[in-house]
Amino acid sequence: MTSDDSSRPRHLGPESPESIFDDDEASAHEASAHETGGGAGPRAAHDTVEHLIRTKLSEALGGRRGIVEGAVPTVLFTLTYVITHELRPSLILSIGVTVVLLVIRLVQRTTVQFVLNALFGIGIAAVFASRSGEARDVFLPGILYNGAYAAVFVISILIGWPLVGFMIGSITGDPTAWHRDKAMVRLCAQMTWLFALPCVLRVLVQYPLYLGDHIALLGTTKIVLGWPLQLAAFAAMAWLLSRDRTPLESAP
């Protein structure tokens, strides 16, 4: 290999959405390598911005297992209610399954973060619905959650400080250094849009259905606009990140 070859960013080729999100063990292995001195730090471990963001997305979402654990309780509640039209059994079933997932994590002595997130989400939904007695209020926390996230993501882009950039900053050790690189800012803005657009679409579709008390349609759209839409966004991220065209600048 010539010196020119070694200086070029690696091109990993097109990736599927799943390939972005390695499992928990892979992320833990990489983190362990950094902690024990394997490599020369974050910049040595990541040749390009795209590679760095792929790794951090995997860690943030818990890999494929974390994604499934986060989705199962909500999907289970929605399907059960659409079929039975019974609020309490649907809540009990979804919460019960989440608790089982938590116990499995505890027995395996692996991280419980993503199961606890799911349990918190379905717990908040249960509180909303139980207090009002209306099944549609199970969906209200999700609508509010997506609205808040959409607002934060879009505002961060409009003011020129896309949130994905701070993910980069958390790795490089300087939370704002990435902002001096225009190419990195553009890439971070594109990635932030891909996080924001699913949230915006969910609010635009689900809020009118909530106002109209269309429970079956709310349940259906929650499933369709949940992980199928998120996977479509991840596919776009996979394409964007697989290009490996934005080299990280060397540390001074």
Among 72-76, 159-163, 188-192, whose mean pLDDT is lowest?
72-76
DSSP code for 176: T
Range 94-105 average pLDDT: 89
pLDDT at 170 over 80: no
Helix axes 63-84, 113-132, angle to 10 degrees: 20
pLDDT at 162 over 80: yes
User: 71, 106 in Cβ contact below 8 A?
Assistant: no
Which residues, 6 or more positions from 118, have their beta carbon under 8 angstroms from its beta carbon?
69, 70, 71, 72, 73, 74, 98, 101
User: 246, 48 in Cβ contact below 8 A?
Assistant: yes
* Confidence band of 166 (pLDDT split at 50, 70, 90): confident
Retrieve residue 112's tokens.
């419980």
> pLDDT tens-digit profile of 102-118?
899 899 888 888 888 88
Among 22-26, 117-121, 142-146, 172-176, whose mean pLDDT is lowest?
22-26
pLDDT at 15 over 60: no
Range 143-169 average pLDDT: 91
| Alpha-helix runs per DSSP H in the chain | 3-6, 17-20, 24-35, 42-45, 49-61, 63-84, 87-108, 113-132, 140-158, 163-172, 182-211, 215-224, 227-242
User: 222, 139 in Cβ contact below 8 A?
Assistant: yes
Q: HSE, CB side, 13 Å, CA atoms: give it for residue 244.
A: 15
Please tell me the total number of residues recorded for the chain in this structure.
Answer: 252
How far, in Å, CA of 206 to CA of 218, rounded?
6
Helix axes 63-84, 49-61, angle to 10 degrees: 50
User: 11, 244 in Cβ contact below 8 A?
Assistant: yes
CA dihedral 196, 241, 25, 172 (to 10 degrees): -80
> pLDDT tens-digit profile of 212-223?
988 778 878 887
